[in-house]
């Protein structure tokens, strides 16, 4: 028991140390890249359509948002506020960054969750089917689908689905997270699902391809192992071998890929939300980048890194549940 508690403590300590270093590196690199950006933050804040303003007014705007200070001073000011729980104020939305991220993330969360579940379940299922029937026409169809979509840009897949299902067939809405002109309190659950279904499918398609290809190859390796060949020689059916022996060897790599795909979901959501005009965190990221909203963009990058790292940590915590022989921190029984 003492060894197990020590193992858990070591695991948590290492994770927290790595998380702190990761978030610090993310914050530093984001500040440096934004400081080197050719976009003038004051001009982006004013907007290109507005009249030219005087140099005194530009100076007041720069002082209001701290843009007249060197990058190092602005970074230390932001870091000091972050330690106190203050993420700063968004220049685009004129709201606290934490509130903007929270409100936009809750809009994106159902879409991300559906896409994540679809990519995991369908990817695992297609990979098992393709690996078990390797060389058959089903395997060739699955591989064609996976190789084609794994190399396809997310925005292209989203545009194609939008053209087919929203424009041509008119079975799904063409934009937004709810019907335009309806108050948020009056939007029904079905209307929410109707608007987020196609964006979630577009976001999950590429993830399905990656998990299917990895699962297929892993299952082929398992089916060609000596103990599986011996089980088949004893009269075990193909699907019996897959169910009793193959699935146990597939689930851990599939979980690793599934939780690792959280970063791809975040990146893909930026493009998908732009195509479908979905007002989530991805759309806020684009607005913050185009208008050089440093506090909001740094906050989103910071939050996304924290979210992805948390997902990977959950994967590590899930391994001992799936396979009791695995223990946290590398200790095994």
Q: What percent of the chain has pLDDT over 90?
A: 1
Supply the pTM of this predicted model: 0.78
Helices (H) and strands (E) in the chain, counts: 14, 0
User: Residue 26 in 3-state DSSP?
Assistant: helix
Contact indicator for 132, 250 with CB cutoff of 8 Å: no
**Sequence ranges of the domains in the chain:** 2-83, 104-290
Q: For domain 104-290, which architecture applies?
A: Orthogonal Bundle (1.10)
Q: Is 323 left (phi over 0), alpha (psi -120 to 50) or beta?
A: beta
Whole-number average pLDDT of the chain: 79
The predicted-structure confidence for 193-215, as pLDDT tens digits, reads as follows 888 888 888 888 877 888 888 88
Q: In this predicted model, which residue has the larger pLDDT, 332 or 12?
A: 12
Question: What's the pLDDT tens digit per position in 123-150?
Answer: 888 888 888 888 889 989 988 888 887 7
């Amino acid at each position: 028991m003492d060894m197990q508690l020590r193992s858990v403590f070591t695991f948590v300590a290492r994770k927290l140390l790595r998380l702190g270093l990761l978030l610090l590196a993310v914050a530093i690199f984001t500040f440096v890249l934004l400081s080197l950006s050719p976009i003038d933050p004051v001009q982006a804040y004013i907007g290109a359509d507005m009249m030219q303003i005087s140099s005194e007014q530009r100076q007041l705007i720069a002082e209001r948002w701290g843009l007249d200070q060197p990058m190092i001073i602005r970074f230390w000011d932001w870091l000091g506020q972050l330690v106190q729980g203050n993420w700063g104020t968004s220049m685009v939305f004129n709201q606290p960054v934490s509130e903007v991220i929270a409100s936009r993330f809750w809009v994106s969360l159902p879409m991300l969750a559906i896409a994540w579940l679809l990519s995991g379940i369908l990817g695992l299922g297609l990979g098992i089917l393709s690996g078990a029937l390797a060389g058959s026409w089903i395997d060739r169809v699955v591989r064609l689908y996976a190789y084609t979509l794994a190399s396809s840009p997310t925005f292209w897949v989203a545009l194609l689905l939008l053209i087919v299902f929203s424009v041509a067939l008119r079975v799904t809405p063409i934009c937004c997270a709810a019907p335009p002109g309806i108050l948020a309190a009056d939007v029904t659950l079905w209307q929410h699902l109707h608007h987020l279904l196609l964006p979630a499918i577009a976001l999950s398609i590429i993830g399905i391809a990656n998990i299917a290809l990895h699962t297929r190859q892993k299952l082929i390796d398992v089916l060609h192992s000596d103990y599986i060949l011996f089980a088949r020689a004893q009269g075990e059916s193909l699907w019996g071998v897959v169910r009793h022996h193959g699935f146990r060897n597939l689930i851990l790599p599939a979980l690793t890929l599934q939780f690792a795909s959280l970063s791809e979901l975040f990146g893909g959501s930026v493009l998908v939300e732009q195509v479908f005009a979905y007002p989530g965190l991805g759309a806020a990221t684009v607005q913050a980048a185009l208008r050089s909203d440093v506090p909001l963009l740094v906050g989103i990058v910071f939050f996304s890194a924290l979210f992805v790292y948390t997902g990977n940590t959950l994967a590590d915590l899930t391994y001992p549940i799936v396979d009791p022989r695995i223990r946290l921190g590398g200790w095994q029984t």
